[in-house]
Structure 1
């Protein structure tokens, strides 16, 4: 869990987003539109605000983008902290932090890769929950209106509204999400919007826990992607090296896949990961095959995670002295240019 460090149909909105300088469209039979990895670092030391750049936190380096794009990835989920981007609630964005985000997006875009701008705050601002008097929905909407002014209409930027919101009521969270969607569209943004759910954003529980409320969302652009996270240890927490049996892995995703089909919705697997244990690496083939085979509703995925600050973290895709991690070897056949 991040509290720690058959022939698919392509909707017209996807084709439109990819036209004229957008992402190169992968062959529909091989993979989703978006295939990539979480690059961590910019949301580190969340207990130190704003923190010292280059010491408490840092942004991904060009070499990280180079390695993964050369491997065939085309998407990076970039975790950032709300408080660093907007030091005062409903106030202006911090120019230096915004520049760091912009520089990363530009470098990724130059390598034909998209960036998911992920507000990695668990539904809170300085510890206060979105939707409470201290952090009203309007303040959350204000953040996204300002980010839209900076990155609206860039087809290489997807708006990840919030990482794993810890609200206790899906209906209340739906209101906050709708406020953000309305603010983005009012500000003129036509970006894809990733909508997370409460309950650690678990894919296995989304349909029951979040489905009734979040299915009520309205987007005039019809560009919502419902984002889920899924891990494959016994309790789905993503905190253990052990994993469930390969034939059980897809069972964790299937309820959400079914919900997407039933609701004519589209999904994005924003986080998933397995340890380097051989029996766990074997899970990646059925997981990614399931996403590929249901690419009419699964638009993409980003593996958790990579970045040099992870060290020898059990899930990391960061190469080991230039050598692919076992997980990366298993993922490569599902990337652009891969064979499977």
Structure 2
């Protein structure tokens, strides 16, 4: 599945709860339509845990939850699915999951409560955590396993995307996360392994310059080979490039590689679209005059 990150609902994470529609913003129907009409039928929706659940173990915030439900409903009008992506880097209020301040039970709790809301909706995927900053891949795998078990105990059948530590890179996935994440089990066999990859020199996604196109496949091949070896499905949850010719060439190579190895890929979600991006170099949100970003021409070619 081809898709997009519509990410502004997790913006201004230093402002909690923040001002709805100013510090952060959920995607609107027109933005969702723009991407779904281009063939991008998978929306990764980053959300902020502290806004969704104002205190650990508390009830979900009804207003923020309603926004998520509204995005799911709007996506369905374009036959699209939504990944609810808890975009918190493995922490709540700046404290890592598993610390004295944020018990693992609190992380389990928020997903159990989301499962009770969305557990009967096959168009909603559960993205457990974006780029957790925990040091140990093994510890993180154990935490995710507890969430998987608890979500399944609610009766929820949703696809679940699991992540790795150390920025969740595709290029070093086998060495950093492969052994630990291979231990994860799901009675429904409905796990998707998520990795991220940017095509600037240090894979950080901070540069407008990209590596030579003949190096692109080597960034994605380690993760792809791991998926094949473990008979697993993968999601390239974040990747993005600037609009210069070299980077657009890299984008074509990356998406062509995914097409050629599509037996192990569930899909991809480009970073990023949606409101509040301004002049961000990787953004594919249309210009104020409705003009299309150069990256969209490439994405559309592979989304059809």
Distance in 2 of aligned mates of 1:222 and 1:133: 32
Q: Which runs of 4+ in 1 moved over 6 A?
A: none
Between 317-326 and 122-131, report the one with greater CA deviation: 317-326
Which runs of 5 or more structure 1 residues have no equivalent in the other structure?
Answer: 1-33
The structure carrying a bigger helix percent of its residues is 2
Aligned to 1:41: 8
Number of aligned positions between the proteins? 303
Pick aligned residue for 1:328 from 268, 279, 296: 296
Aligned to 2:54: 87
Aligned to 1:215: 182
- Asked whether the 8 Å contact 2:200–2:207 carries over to 1, the reply is yes
Residues 115-154 of structure 1: pairs in structure 2 closer than 5 A: 115-154=82-121
1:150-172 CA deviation, whole Å, 9 max, x = no partner? 11121110111001000000011
Over aligned residues, Cα RMSD in angstroms?
Answer: 0.8
Distance in 2 of aligned mates of 1:91 and 1:212: 34
Pick aligned residue for 1:232 from 199, 216, 240: 199
Aligned to 2:227: 260
Distance in 1 of aligned mates of 2:178 and 2:125: 22
Aligned to 1:187: 154
Kindly state the Cα deviation for residue 308 of structure 1 after the two structures are TM-superposed.
2.8
Which runs of 5 or more structure 2 residues have no equivalent in the other structure?
Answer: none
Kindly state the Cα deviation for residue 72 of structure 1 after the two structures are TM-superposed.
1.2
TM-score normalised to structure 2 length: 0.98
Question: 2:138 matched to 1:171?
Answer: yes
SS at the partner of 2:21? coil
Distance in 1 of aligned mates of 2:108 and 2:45: 20
- Asked whether the 8 Å contact 1:137–1:175 carries over to 2, the reply is no
Residues 64-83 of structure 1: pairs in structure 2 closer than 5 A: 64-83=31-50
SS at the partner of 1:142? helix
SS at the partner of 1:42? helix
1:267-309 CA deviation, whole Å, 9 max, x = no partner? 0000000111111111111101111111111110000001231
- Asked whether the 8 Å contact 1:131–1:173 carries over to 2, the reply is no
Pick aligned residue for 1:104 from 71, 94, 100: 71
